[in-house]
A = this chain, B = another copy of it.
Amino acid sequence: MAHSLLVVGSIALDTVRTPHGEAPDVLGGSATYFSVAASFLAPVRLVGVVGADFPDEFRRVLESRRIDTAGLEVVSAGKTFRWVGSYEGAMNEAKTEDVQLNVFGDFKPVIPPQFRDTRLVFLANGSPITQAAVLEQVARPDLVVADTMNLWIETQRDALLALLRRVDGLVLNDGEARMLTGEHNLVAAARKVLGLGPAFVIIKKGEHGAILAHRDGCQTDGPTTRWVSSLPAYPSLEVRDPTGAGDSFAGGMMGYLAHEGRYDFRRLVRAMAYGTVMASFAIEDFSLRRFERLSIDDIDARLRRYHEMLAF
């Protein structure tokens, strides 16, 4: 029986252009990608906000999965968060062409009473003050993991550092890790993050995979110096839309951890593998379309191939 898993973050209407096409007004947002990816592995409790313009069809995408939408607030006088972005060339970085925060700009997450006993909490990218406000509303989670971004590292550094002392894990990308720590070397950056509070950190490198550093390391099978792992991305021949890859990674990772209910080094490496596989599906089509035609058998098959690829 999986432990309960809560995510708080954005729900968006995205318009995305890549070399493979354009998708106008599609379902997006960090909490959306996270919860759909995680829902393949564990039930998810979602807290987010949308406007009156949020299509029923998108609500059904969430409700058709194991996602409890009791925390999905609808502001009838407002509009849903909108993001317009494009990718070029190697598609490593999104170019934001327009952002309208709309109802997400005033988002004060309210955790429904029945969600307050949640065991695992994922604080998707948001202001560290908002993220901290979520923690005030949950009773005694086993595991709290936060995402963050450049904006908060630059503008709310103190609030972010205060938050880091209250979380078990931090997930961020390579540029953010360098910005937060001042270290070029990502292994050194990861070690420095551990000094800021979290028991573990995962640095996402997009097409280059991810690095895990864990305070306790792999104590069961060797010296404590074994505190780092690094996994490659799943090799994808065609990337149609990288949007949501990082949140799908986090969803796969947290979904697996919720399923396991234990969070040691070895399980975190396996959680990264699940995250890697979920991200590899996310980028095969625009929005969450690939997830809409995905089965747990597809996930298991790809995890086996990924495992084989790493066997030597």
- Whether a CB of chain B sits under 8 angstroms from the CB of A211 is yes
- Whether a CB of chain B sits under 8 angstroms from the CB of A188 is yes
Q: CB distance A232 to B209 under 8 Å?
A: yes
Neighbouring B residues of A191 by C-beta, 8 Å: 237
- Whether a CB of chain B sits under 8 angstroms from the CB of A155 is no
Neighbouring B residues of A238 by C-beta, 8 Å: 185, 188
Q: CB distance B209 to A269 under 8 Å?
A: no
Q: Which of B90, B187, B310 contacts A184 (CB 8 A)?
A: B90
Fill in one digit per residue for A186-206: 1 if any B CB lies within 8 Å of its CB, else 0: 111001000000000000010
Neighbouring B residues of A90 by C-beta, 8 Å: 178, 184-185
**Are A228 and B235 CB-contacts (below 8 A) given A270-B312, A310-B310?**
yes
Q: CB distance B208 to A208 under 8 Å?
A: yes
Query: In which size bucket is the chain A interface?
Result: 35 or more
CB distance from A283 to the nearest CB of B (A): 11
Neighbouring B residues of A209 by C-beta, 8 Å: 208-209, 230, 232
CB distance from A192 to the nearest CB of B (A): 11
- Whether a CB of chain B sits under 8 angstroms from the CB of A218 is yes
Of residues 218 to 259 in A, which have CB atoms within 8 Å of B's CB atoms?
Answer: 218, 221-222, 226, 228-239
Q: CB distance B207 to A186 under 8 Å?
A: yes
CB distance from A165 to the nearest CB of B (A): 24
Q: CB distance B269 to A311 under 8 Å?
A: yes
- Whether a CB of chain B sits under 8 angstroms from the CB of A307 is yes
- Whether a CB of chain B sits under 8 angstroms from the CB of A266 is yes
Question: When chains A and B are docked, how far (Å) is the Cα of A238 from the Cα of B228?
Answer: 14
Neighbouring B residues of A308 by C-beta, 8 Å: 218, 221-222, 226
**Least CB separation from A233: chain B residue:** B230
**Least CB separation from A229: chain B residue:** B309
**Least CB separation from A305: chain B residue:** B226
Fill in one digit per residue for A287-312: 1 if any B CB lies within 8 Å of its CB, else 0: 00000000000000000010111111
Question: When chains A and B are docked, how far (Å) is the Cα of A208 from the Cα of B307?
Answer: 18
Question: When chains A and B are docked, how far (Å) is the Cα of A288 from the Cα of B231?
Answer: 28
Neighbouring B residues of A208 by C-beta, 8 Å: 205, 208-209, 232
**Least CB separation from A312: chain B residue:** B270
Neighbouring B residues of A110 by C-beta, 8 Å: none
Question: When chains A and B are docked, how far (Å) is the Cα of A235 from the Cα of B310?
Answer: 16
Question: When chains A and B are docked, how far (Å) is the Cα of A41 from the Cα of B260?
Answer: 41
Q: Show 7 residue pairs from A and B whose CB-CB distance is below 8 angstroms, ordered by the A residue.
A: A91-B184, A185-B238, A185-B239, A188-B238, A191-B237, A222-B305, A270-B312
Seed contacts A89-B184, A186-B207, A208-B208; 8 additional CB < 8 Å A-B pairs = A185-B238, A209-B232, A221-B308, A222-B308, A229-B235, A230-B234, A230-B235, A231-B232
Q: What are the nearest 4 A-B pairs in CB distance? A: A208-B208, A230-B232, A270-B312, A90-B184
